[in-house]
Structure 1
Amino acid sequence: MSIARHRPGPAAAVRALASQVHPVFMLPPVAVSLTGSLLAAGATGTFTPTVVAAHAIAIFAAVYTAHVKDGYVDFFVRGEDDDHPLSVGGCRLALVGAGILFAVALAGVFLTAGVAAAALTAPTWALGYFHAPQLDTNPVTATGGYPAGIALSLVGAYAAGAGTVTPTVLGLAGVLLAVLLGIKIIDDAQDLGYDRSIDKRTVAVVLGPTRARRLAEGLLAAGLLGVAVFAAVGVFPTGTILAVFAFGAVAAIARRAEPRLATMLLVRGAYVFLALLLVALWYRPMTGPLPIDIGVLGPYTYLATEIAFGAFGLALLVRADALARAGRTIAVVYPLAYVWDWYTLEVGVFAIELRTGIDLLAIPIEEHLFMLVVPALVLGIHESLRESDE
Structure 2
Amino acid sequence: MAIARHDRGVRADLRALLSQVHPVFMLPPLAASWFGAAVAGEFGLTVGAVHMSAIFFAVYTAHVKDGYVDFHRRGEDDDHPMTVRGCRLSLLAAGVGFAACTFALGALVGPGAALVTLPTWFIGYLHAPQLDTNPLTTTLGYPTGIALALLGGFYVQTTVVTATILGFALVFLVTLAGVKIIDDEQDYAYDRSIDKRTVSVLLGRPRARTLAFSLLMTGLIGVLWGTVDGLFPPSAPAAALAFGSVAVVARPARPTIATMLLIRGAYVFLALLIVAVWFRPLSGTPLPDITVFGPYTYLATEVVFGGAAFALLRYAGALRRSARTIAALYPIAYLWDWYTLEVGVFEVTMRTGYDLFGIPIEEHLFMIVVPALVLGIHETIRTLSVDSDESPRSDSQA
Query: Fold conserved (TM > 0.5)?
Result: yes
Q: 1:283 to 1:375 in 2, by over 3 A?
A: farther
Structure 1 match to 2:301: 305
Q: Counterpart in 1 of 2:33?
A: 33
Do the aligned residues in 2 keep the contact of 1:181 with 1:219 (CA within 8 Å)?
Answer: no
Instruction: Indicate the residue corresponding to 1:24 in structure 2.
Output: 24
In the alignment, what sits opposite 1:79?
Answer: 75
1:155 aligns with 2:151: yes
Trace 1:243-258 onto structure 2 (pairs within 5 A): none
Match of 1:217 among 186, 211, 217: 211
Corresponding residue for residue 380 of structure 1: 376
After TM superposition, the structure 1 stretch with the greater mean CA deviation from structure 2, 155-164 or 29-38, is: 29-38
Q: In the alignment, which residue of structure 2 is the partner of 1:4?
A: 4
**Residue number in structure 1 paired with 2:118:** 122
Amino acid in structure 1 at the alignment position of 2:211:
E
| Structure 1 counterpart of 2:311 | 315
SS at match of 2:54: helix
TM-score, normalised to structure 1, is 0.74
Map 1:243-282 → 2, pairs under 5 A = none
Relative to structure 1, is the Cα distance of residues 375 and 246 closer, same or farther in structure 2, using a 3 angstrom cutoff? farther
Q: Which residues of structure 1 form unaligned runs of 5+?
A: none
Rate the CA distance shift 1:7–1:319 in 2: closer, same or farther, 3 A: same
1:95 to 77, 91, 100: 91
Structure 2: distance between partners of 1:307 and 1:379: 17
| TM superposition shift of 1:116 | 0.6
Question: Superposition pairs for residues 129-278 of structure 1, below 5 Å?
Answer: 129-133=125-129, 135-136=131-132, 144-170=140-166, 172-173=168-169, 176-177=172-173, 180=176, 184=180, 187-188=183-184, 190-191=186-187, 194-195=190-191, 202=197, 208-210=202-204, 217=211, 224=218, 227=222
Which residue of structure 2 lines up, in the alignment, with residue 294 of structure 1? 290
Shift of 1:64: 0.9
* Distance change >3 Å, CA 343–CA 241, structure 1 → 2: farther
Cα distance in 2 between the residues matched to 1:386 and 1:78: 40
CA distance in 2, matches of 1:242, 1:351: 33
Label 1:352 to 1:254 Cα distance change in 2 as closer, same or farther (>3 A).
same
Instruction: Tell me: CA distance 1:374–1:138, structure 2 relative to 1, closer, same or farther (3 Å).
Output: closer
Deviation at residue 68 of structure 1 after TM alignment:
1.5
Structure 1 position 47 matched with structure 2 position 43? yes
How many residues align? The count is: 384
The answer to whether the 8 A contact 2:310-2:376 is kept is: yes
8 Å contact kept, 1:231–1:241: no
Give the conservation status (yes or no) of the 8 Å contact 1:175–1:227: yes
Query: Which whole-Å CA distance do the structure 2 matches of 1:222 and 1:321 have between them?
Result: 26
Q: TM-score, normalised by structure 2?
A: 0.73
Indicate if the aligned counterparts of 2:178 and 2:216 stay in contact, CA closer than 8 A. no
Percent of pairs with identical residues: 57
1:334/1:64 CA distance change after superposition, 3 Å: same
- Tell me the alpha carbon deviations over residues 93-115 of structure 1, each in whole angstroms, 9 at most, x when there is no partner: 54344344434433442333222
Deviation at residue 118 of structure 1 after TM alignment: 1.4
Aligned to 1:71, what secondary structure does the other structure show?
helix
Structure 2: gaps spanning 5 or more residues: 388-398
CA RMSD, Structure 1 to Structure 2 (Å): 4.7
**Quick one: structure 1 residues 363 and 130, their matched pair in 2 at CA, closer, same or farther if it must change by over 3 Å?**
closer
Give the secondary-structure state (helix, strand or coil) at the position aligned to 2:47: helix
